[in-house]
């Protein structure tokens, strides 16, 4: 079966923010979450002389992005690709490719549709898959099954409540601990069945699966997504040259809160200005054409000349 073409979220809005970079000839951009390469292709088309640093923590996604760019742009001559977490980008990496500072950077904090449909790592409810959820399976960190099978009730409740905002967090955590005494959780469907049985039918959400928040929470816990988000935003902001722009797309309230408050904290140094007083949201038309965009929020930040304090002569 043919895969439907990937559609990047908020494409025009992302490009409009990156075009606010105050360099007469922007030369260096970074896509910190390559995904399917949708935003990267737009950046390379919009800035035909610029070079792009392409980052993704998942080797499979990085290769997919490179293939998509090659197919549409014609070559990878302007692309420097690295498999790593965007929170690990630093001046040493920039120097390695001859970049003295970024004119623009983008991080898309959502998980690619590919992971849900084709990764086989238990992100989805549709097919029975190992309960893994690692974005970097080769690294060997704990899996979602490890979290479910060996965490205490209190830790599970904390994960489900803080990362999933799940009102049934304690009941689900208790039921998991009782159930795993008889049989350990191995697949996504094992967990789905338990969550469905833990939440009374009349309280199931109308527009999503009752296990959605639990799966979101586990994915965030396994991949330490919120920790990397804040660290990465600060790191990339400091990699901008004066006038450079950082754009961030988030897909749920926890991510957006981190972006908002990290931007505000950076602004207090007088070295940054916030370009978006409120998050930019997708239009009704975009949501109609690309349902994956419905919860997206875009924010932008620009690096500016630090304000110098005046000195009073004695």
Give me the average pLDDT of each 10-residue run along the chain (314 residues).
Answer: 67 96 90 93 96 93 94 96 95 95 93 61 84 78 94 98 95 98 96 96 91 93 91 96 97 93 96 96 94 92 80 46
| Cα separation, 193 vs 211, whole angstroms | 9
Order of strands across the sheet that contains 297-303: 79-83, 51-56, 28-31, 102-108, 240-250, 297-303, 272-274
Q: Which CATH number fits domain 120-223: 1.10.540.10, 3.40.50.1970, 1.10.150.170, 1.10.260.40?
A: 1.10.150.170
User: Is 108 annotated as contributing to ligand binding?
Assistant: yes
pLDDT confidence of residue 127:
85
Dihedral sign for Cα atoms in the order 309, 240, 38, 36: negative
User: Is 203 annotated as contributing to ligand binding?
Assistant: no
Instruction: Please report where in the chains the tokens 């099954």 appear, as a residue.
Output: 145
User: Is 56 annotated as contributing to ligand binding?
Assistant: yes
Is the domain spanning 11-114+227-303 CATH 3.40.50.150? The answer is yes
55 Cβ contact list (under 8 Å, min separation 6): 30, 31, 32, 33, 34, 62, 81, 82, 83, 84, 85, 86, 89
* Domain 11-114+227-303 shares a fold with domain 120-223: no
Q: How far is CA 94 from CA 59, 163, 209, 282, 312, in A?
A: 20, 33, 42, 32, 39
The domain segmentation of the chain, as residue ranges, is 11-114+227-303, 120-223
User: Is 39 annotated as contributing to ligand binding?
Assistant: yes
The terminus-to-terminus CA distance of the chain in angstroms comes to: 78
pLDDT confidence of residue 58:
87
User: Is 114 annotated as contributing to ligand binding?
Assistant: no
296 Cβ contact list (under 8 Å, min separation 6): 9, 10, 110, 249, 250, 251, 281, 282
pLDDT confidence of residue 301:
98
Structure-token pair, residue 100 = 């003295």
């Amino acid at each position: 079966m043919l895969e439907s073409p990937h559609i990047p979220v908020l494409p025009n809005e992302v490009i409009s923010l990156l075009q606010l970079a105050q360099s007469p000839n922007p030369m260096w951009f970074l896509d910190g979450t390559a995904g399917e390469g949708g935003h990267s292709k737009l950046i390379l088309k919009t800035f035909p002389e610029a070079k792009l640093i392409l980052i993704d923590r998942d080797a499979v996604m990085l290769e997919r992005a490179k293939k998509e760019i090659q197919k549409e742009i014609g070559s990878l001559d302007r692309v420097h690709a690295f498999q790593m977490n965007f929170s690990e980008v630093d001046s040493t990496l920039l120097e390695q490719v001859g970049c003295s500072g970024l004119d623009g950077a983008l991080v898309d904090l959502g998980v690619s549709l590919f992971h849900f449909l084709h990764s086989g790592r238990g992100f989805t409810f549709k097919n029975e898959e190992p309960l893994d959820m690692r974005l970097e399976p080769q690294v060997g960190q704990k899996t979602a099954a490890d979290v479910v099978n060996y965490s205490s009730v209190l830790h599970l409740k904390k994960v489900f409540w803080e990362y999933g905002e799940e009102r049934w967090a304690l009941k689900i955590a208790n039921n998991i601990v009782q159930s795993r005494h008889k049989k350990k959780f191995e697949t996504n469907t094992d967990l789905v069945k338990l969550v469905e049985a833990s939440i009374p039918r009349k309280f199931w959400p109308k527009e999503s699966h009752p296990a959605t928040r639990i799966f979101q929470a586990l994915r965030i816990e396994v991949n330490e997504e919120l920790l990397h988000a804040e660290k990465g935003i600060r790191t990339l902001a400091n990699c901008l040259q004066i006038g450079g722009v950082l754009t961030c797309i988030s897909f749920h309230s926890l991510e957006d809160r981190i972006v908002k408050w990290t931007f505000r904290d950076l602004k207090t140094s007088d070295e940054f200005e916030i370009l978006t007083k409120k998050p930019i949201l997708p239009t009704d038309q975009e949501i109609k054409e690309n349902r994956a965009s419905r919860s997206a929020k875009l924010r932008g930040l620009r690096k500016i000349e630090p304000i110098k304090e005046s000195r009073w002569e004695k």
